[in-house]
């Protein structure tokens, strides 16, 4: 939710990046950090790991104004006209999120907040996130973070068991960013591990109360197994794949000229959803995803090139 790209949208509403940042009242030193991070999202520059570090530093700096960011982000979502939107929040943002819900008419019925949990990380932050699932304003979890290796199966299965306990009393969204292919080369076993772990709980009735969203799924070890697991799981629970094509291009999971791997699963339409992962707008991502689904990879690449250019 609080990505530099979103600040960029806020900035665009005010006519320029600098004007937008001034409007948010962010310290000039943080503006410099942001400008640096933004310029380093340029696909042509070489050191992507350093870019990620710059973006991370900017986010930390910007948290000082995070109430304003949340308000601005939600106000922007409400203008989009989309009827139901899932937004990811950090545990520490819950008060600001509630404040924004109260201040923006109609937002509570259209938004579903899910709270971010870092992959493989058993920490007090993870515990805070899980505790928030009992809050009526929070609707699930989002497993996030750069996918730098194959994720831990024991961590996920114990998390899943705790989610199922809560799901006995409340329907939950479980979104997992997996197969995003961070820098195009890490975490290739993750999509299979997550789906297999969920499928192992298929006999548990509470699994029906989970809405499972695999976000990305472009970097996969075993596509045949993935397709089979998705098809068997859809009888047991609500499972979809959420493609985010522009995010996959910007974070180099796929090259802009080889976007075919995004469509490799050949999912039936009801399993395929489109998201943004905070890169580009929903409409832009849908345009690219539709072209990919229609087998028009070259046109999809051309569109993506145009849209990513606008994000930079």
Binding positions for Zn ion, rule: CB under 5 A: 177, 180, 277
| β-bridge mates for residue 140, sequence order | 114, 173
Please, which residue, 177 or 201, has the CB nearer to Zn ion? 177
Taking the complex as a whole, how short is the minimal distance between the CB of residue 114 and Zn ion, in angstroms?
13
Taking the complex as a whole, how short is the minimal distance between the CB of residue 102 and Zn ion, in angstroms?
29
Taking the complex as a whole, how short is the minimal distance between the CB of residue 280 and Zn ion, in angstroms?
13
Measure the CA–CA gap between 130 and 236, rounded to whole angstroms: 24
Residue 18 C-beta-side C-alpha neighbours within 13 Å: 3
Taking the complex as a whole, how short is the minimal distance between the CB of residue 5 and Zn ion, in angstroms?
13
Taking the complex as a whole, how short is the minimal distance between the CB of residue 180 and Zn ion, in angstroms?
5
Please, which residue, 21 or 213, has the CB nearer to Zn ion? 213
| β-bridge mates for residue 117, sequence order | 143
Taking the complex as a whole, how short is the minimal distance between the CB of residue 145 and Zn ion, in angstroms?
9
Please, which residue, 40 or 177, has the CB nearer to Zn ion? 177
Please, which residue, 100 or 250, has the CB nearer to Zn ion? 250
Collapsing DSSP to helix, strand or coil, 153 comes out as helix
Please, which residue, 3 or 65, has the CB nearer to Zn ion? 3
Would you say 2 and 63 are in contact if contact means Cβ atoms under 8 Å apart? Answer: yes
Taking the complex as a whole, how short is the minimal distance between the CB of residue 149 and Zn ion, in angstroms?
16
| β-bridge mates for residue 176, sequence order | 143, 214
Task: Report how far apart, in Å, the C-alpha atoms of 15 and of each of 19, 27, 225 are.
Answer: 7, 19, 48
Taking the complex as a whole, how short is the minimal distance between the CB of residue 178 and Zn ion, in angstroms?
9
Measure the N-to-C terminal CA separation of the chain; round to a whole number of Å.
18
Would you say 247 and 3 are in contact if contact means Cβ atoms under 8 Å apart? Answer: no
Taking the complex as a whole, how short is the minimal distance between the CB of residue 175 and Zn ion, in angstroms?
9
Task: Report how far apart, in Å, the C-alpha atoms of 158 and of each of 15, 57, 154, 155, 175 are.
Answer: 48, 31, 6, 6, 16
Please, which residue, 144 or 164, has the CB nearer to Zn ion? 144
Provide the H-helix boundaries in 25-143.
Answer: 28-40, 48-62, 66-80, 94-103, 107-110, 124-131
Please, which residue, 107 or 285, has the CB nearer to Zn ion? 285
Q: Would you state the torsion angle of the CA atoms of residues 135, 141, 142, 145, taken in this order, to the nearest 10 degrees?
A: 90
Would you say 62 and 34 are in contact if contact means Cβ atoms under 8 Å apart? Answer: yes
Please, which residue, 184 or 202, has the CB nearer to Zn ion? 184
Residue nearest to Zn ion (CB): 177
Collapsing DSSP to helix, strand or coil, 115 comes out as strand
Q: Give the Cα-Cα-Cα angle 244, 312, 252 (nearest 5 degrees).
A: 45
Please, which residue, 151 or 180, has the CB nearer to Zn ion? 180
């Amino acid at each position: 939710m609080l990505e530099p790209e979103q600040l960029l949208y806020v900035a665009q509403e005010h006519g320029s990046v600098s004007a937008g940042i001034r409007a948010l009242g962010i310290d000039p030193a943080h503006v410099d950090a942001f400008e640096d991070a933004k310029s380093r999202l340029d696909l042509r520059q070489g050191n992507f790991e350093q870019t990620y570090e710059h973006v991370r530093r900017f986010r930390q700096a910007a948290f000082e104004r995070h109430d304003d960011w949340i308000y601005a982000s939600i106000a922007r979502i409400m203008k989009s006209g989309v009827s139901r939107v899932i937004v990811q929040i950090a545990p520490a943002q819950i008060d600001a999120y509630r404040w924004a819900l109260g201040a923006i008419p109609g937002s509570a019925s259209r938004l579903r907040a899910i709270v971010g949990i870092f992959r493989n990380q058993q920490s007090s932050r993870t515990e805070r996130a899980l505790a928030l699932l009992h809050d009526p304003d929070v609707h699930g979890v989002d497993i996030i973070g750069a996918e730098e290796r194959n994720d831990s199966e024991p961590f996920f299965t114990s998390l899943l068991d705790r989610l199922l306990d809560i799901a006995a009393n409340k329907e939950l969204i479980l979104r997992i960013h997996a197969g995003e292919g961070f820098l195009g080369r890490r975490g290739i076993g993750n999509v299979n591990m997550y789906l297999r772990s969920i499928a192992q709980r298929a006999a548990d009735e509470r699994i029906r109360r989970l809405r499972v969203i695999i976000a990305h799924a472009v970097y996969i070890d075993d596509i045949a197994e993935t397709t089979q697991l998705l098809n068997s799981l859809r009888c047991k629970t609500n499972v979809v794949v959420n493609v985010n094509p522009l995010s996959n291009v910007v974070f180099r999971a796929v090259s802009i000229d080889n976007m075919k791997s995004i469509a490799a699963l050949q999912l039936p339409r009801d399993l395929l959803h489109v998201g943004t992962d905070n890169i580009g707008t929903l409409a832009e991502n849908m345009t690219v995803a539709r072209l990919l689904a229609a087998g028009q990879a070259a046109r999809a690449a051309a569109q993506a090139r145009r849209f990513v250019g606008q994000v930079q």
